């Protein structure tokens, strides 16, 4: 399942990036998005994520990154 999320980067480790999220997904409460990627992100910056669901476990949505956009780079 493909998902679009507007979120803030919290932590980057090798191959995994954690993003802030508070809400409900498919009836399950979610408090964190764990994205598997080699792409680099800046902590505390906001991103628009295009991700593909891997699993939901213990209030964490785990996904693979399809594409991302730093909101600072979007002009209107």
pLDDT tens column, 31-52? 999 999 999 999 999 999 999 9
- The CATH number covering residue 34 comes to 2.40.50
* Distance in angstroms (rounded) separating the CA atoms of residues 21 and 26: 14
- Provide the domain count of the chain: 1
> Looking at the predicted structure, is the pLDDT value of residue 75 above 70?
no
66 by Cβ neighbours in 10 Å (0-12 / 13-18 / 19+) ranks as middle
pTM for this structure?
Answer: 0.89
Residues 48, 71 contacting (CB under 8 angstroms): yes
Domain that holds residue 37: 2-73
> By three-state DSSP, how is residue 69 classified?
strand
């Amino acid at each position: 399942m493909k998902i679009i999320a507007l979120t803030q980067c919290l932590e980057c480790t090798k191959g995994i990036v954690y993003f802030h999220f508070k809400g409900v997904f498919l009836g399950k409460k979610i408090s964190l998005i764990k994205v598997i990627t080699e792409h680099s992100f800046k902590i505390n910056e906001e991103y628009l994520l295009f991700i593909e669901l891997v699993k939901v476990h213990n209030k964490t949505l785990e996904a693979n990154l399809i594409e991302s956009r730093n909101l600072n780079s979007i002009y209107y």
